[in-house]
Structure 1
Amino acid sequence: MMRVEHQRSQFSAGQMAVKSGVCLRLLALGLLLLPAAGCSTIESFNPFGGEKYETKLLADEPAEDIYDQGLVRLQKRDHDGAAKKFGELEKQFPFSQWSRKGLIMIAYSNYEGQKYDEALSAAKRYVGLYPSTPETPYAYYLAGMSMYNQIPDITRDQERAEEAVKIFSQLIEKFPKSEYVEEAKYKMNVARDQLAGKEMSVGRFYLGRKNYTAAINRFREVLGKYQTTRHAEEALYRLTEAYLALGITNEAQTAAAVLGHNYPDGQWYKDAYTLLAGGGLSPAESQGSWISRLFRRA
């Protein structure tokens, strides 16, 4: 992108007025796409004659300067301004290292400004364009954190938690030696715990309304997908409760037995033991139970 600057020897006040009117009319008609360049281009066509014009090409602003201006705006916590400044690198220096650097900084600026959807979009675009640069793991991390920071409480839809888990999993799989892996693992576990909590909440809802089959399906989901979360212990107790209410005693006894094997000192096991004892039963694992098979596989 280059700017054309026109110099002339003389220009009368009347001619200035005429040219201003031309620019205004073009603006009104929507024909002047580039304001500065548009008026300058009109001046190069001299309808009055007798004027001499000298055309000079001015170089673009260096990429380093634009990048530094973006950093200055970041330091001033002008995150929107920084993102826009880094965006100029993409426009003025496409397919260059400055365009690449600008894109990751757009993601970072928006993330710092808590504009998480914009940060996610820029980070994903970076991963798509540059899947194996030194900054790619960081782009995954920013994308994951943009979702993680928007996870709502368990009473609401957990789509963002699911997306955070997905992105962090990709980061861990593709870049296992990255410096962001450890934190990604931690954040992913927190997000998975949130997803398990949502399933438990729904399961308890069904259990309270004596819809035992629907409740069992939710608790089964917790053990199948989120067995390593803190909710697995309660899920086993709730299965004991639900199966006992349905009269499926072998599954109730198995759930309690597996609970005792894995959490022998927990309150949930003590409650399950008491619950079974009230019906003259005790924990006993059935090897053919899906609960038993699930934990043996784990």
Structure 2
Amino acid sequence: MYRLKFIILFVFIIFLTSCSKEVVEENLIKGKSLDLQVIEAYREGVEALESGDVLFAAKKFNEAEILFPQGDWAPKSALMASYAYYTQDYYGDAIAELERFIIVYPKHKNLQYAYYLLAICYYEQIVDEKKDLGAIIQAKKNFEIILNNYPNTEYAIDADFKLDLIADILAAKEMYIGRYYFDKKKWIPAINRFREIIDNYETTIYAEEALHRLVEVHYTLGLIDEAEKYAQLLGYNYKSSTWYKNSYSLFDKNYKIKKKERFKTYKKKSGGLLKKFKSLIE
């Protein structure tokens, strides 16, 4: 009896070992097959992208990610799907993919690229300063993330450049609205808009005009001391500027007349030289 029990136990152990081996082999086969499926889907996505069929390409990249979401190919496939959409200006789809990537793969090595491409998707949707500011604000936000979190990357260099352009656009918007209020003689809102440029966009091309407009508004209101303060600031920073000359002419009514007289005198003196120069190039 004891011997029979021993034989049954021995056979059972052999059976379990055999079953375990078969399960392992089956799992290995399935794992290998799954990996091949992922690679195949990814390869088809690349081929479709190269041929210009971006929608099918994005579909195959998404398929590759879904097949094995824990694998190394998953985040790469997700980024490729977003890039595929971006190449044909499907900005909404690209943005959705990138935002999902940032949430799902917050520590991925290519996260900096995801933020950069996300910023570019918004940046390329900017029309002008008079349109909806949503794209401008989102582009600015994501470019700043790159500068703050990845300052020593190639993306940071372009982000810094584009932030300067965005500042010009935002300053242009403030100037556009400020001029509107000025023309409507709504002095306080106009002052607020011009001050916004001086306070937050002083490095843009609109800073000179904003200072002149502040001189103009305060002079019109009879606030001469305030007008002179902004005129001095304008002269200190942009003395050769046309805007400074315009501001100066507000305080010196004879400035424009004197300027015209000087120009006429210069024209008479330089007339012969100018004709001689023209004869050389004709």
Q: What CA distance in whole angstroms lies between the structure 1 residues aligned with 2:138 and 2:254?
A: 44
SS in 2 for 1:152: coil
Following superposition, the deviation at residue 128 of structure 1 comes to 2.3
Aligned partner (choices 70, 90, 93) of residue 65 of structure 2: 90
Instruction: Give yes or no for contact 2:147–2:160 (8 Å, CA) kept in 1.
Output: yes
Classify 1:136/1:279 alpha carbon distance in 2 versus 1 (closer, same or farther; 3 Å): farther
Number of the residue aligned with 2:109? 134
Q: Residues 258 and 73 (structure 1 numbering): CA distance in 2 closer, same or farther, change over 3 Å?
A: same
Q: 2:248 aligned to 273, 276, 281, which one?
A: 273
1:184 and 2:159 aligned: yes
Aligned residue identity for 1:155: K
Is the Cα contact below 8 Å between 2:39 and 2:64 reproduced in 1?
no
1:114 aligned partner, one-letter code? D
Question: Residues 188-207 of structure 1 correspond to what in structure 2 (within 5 A)?
Answer: 188-207=163-182
In structure 1, what is the equivalent of residue 53 of structure 2? 78
How far, CA to CA, are the matches of 1:104 and 1:212 in structure 2? 50
SS of 2:79's equivalent in the other structure is: helix
How many residues get paired?
224
Residues 245 and 100 (structure 1), Cα distance of their counterparts in 2 relative to 1, 3 Å cut: same
What is the deviation of 1:154? 1.9
Please list the CA deviations of residues 35-56 of structure 1 after superposition, one character each: whole Å capped at 9, or x if unmatched: xxxxxxxxxxxxxxxxxxxxxx
Deviation at 1:279, TM superposition (A): 10
Please, which of 100, 121, 128 is the counterpart of residue 153 of structure 1?
A: 128
CA contact 1:203–1:218 (8 Å) conserved in 2? yes
The answer as to whether partners of 1:162 and 1:195 remain within 8 angstroms in 2 is no
SS of residue in 1 equivalent to 2:171 = helix
CA distance in 1: counterparts of 2:214 and 2:106, whole angstroms: 44
How big is the shift at 1:139? 0.6
Query: Which one has the bigger helix percentage?
Result: 2
RMSD: 1.8
Question: How far, CA to CA, are the matches of 2:216 and 2:78 in structure 1?
Answer: 53
Q: Deviations over 1:229-251 (max 9, x none)?
A: 11111111111111111111122
Q: Does 1:245 align with 2:220?
A: yes
Pairing of 1:2-81 with structure 2 (within 5 A)? 59-60=33-34, 61-81=36-56
State the distance in 1 between where 2:247 and 2:132 align: 30
Based on CA coordinates, which of the two structures has the bigger radius of gyration?
Answer: 2
CA distance in 1, matches of 2:107, 2:247: 51
Asked if the contact 1:111/1:146 (under 8 Å) is kept, the reply is yes
Gaps spanning 5+ residues in structure 1: where?
1-56, 281-298
Higher relative contact order by CA 8 Å / sep ≥ 6: 1 or 2? 1
1:101 aligns with 2:76: yes
Distance 1:160 1:259 in 2: 32
The equivalent of 2:210 in structure 1 is 235
How much does 1:183 deviate?
Answer: 0.8
TM-score normalised per structure 2: 0.75
How far apart, in 1, do the equivalents of 2:129 and 2:33 lie? 56
Letter in 1 for 2:196: E
| Cα displacement string for residues 95-154 of structure 1 (whole angstroms, at most 9, x for unaligned residues) | 221111111111111111101121122122222232333311111110000010011222
Q: After the TM superposition, which of the residue ranges 123-132 and 139-148 deviates more from structure 2?
A: 123-132
Amino acid at match of 2:57: A
Partner Cα separation in structure 2 for residue 279 and residue 87 of structure 1: 72
* Aligned equivalents of 1:265, 1:134: Cα separation in 2: 49
Say which SS state the counterpart of residue 154 (structure 2) adopts. coil
- 1:150-204 per-position Cα deviation (integer Å, ceiling 9, x unaligned): 1122222222111111110001100011111111111111112111101100000
Stretch moving more, 123-132 or 194-203: 123-132
Give the Cα separation in 2 of the matches to 1:159 and 1:273: 39
Q: Which amino acid aligns with 2:251?
A: L
- Which one is further off, 169-178 or 121-130? 121-130
- Answer yes or no: is the 8 Å Cα contact 1:127–1:139 preserved in 2: yes
TM-score normalised according to structure 1 size:
0.71
CA deviation profile, 1:16-69 (whole Å, cap 9, x unmatched): xxxxxxxxxxxxxxxxxxxxxxxxxxxxxxxxxxxxxxxxx8944521221111
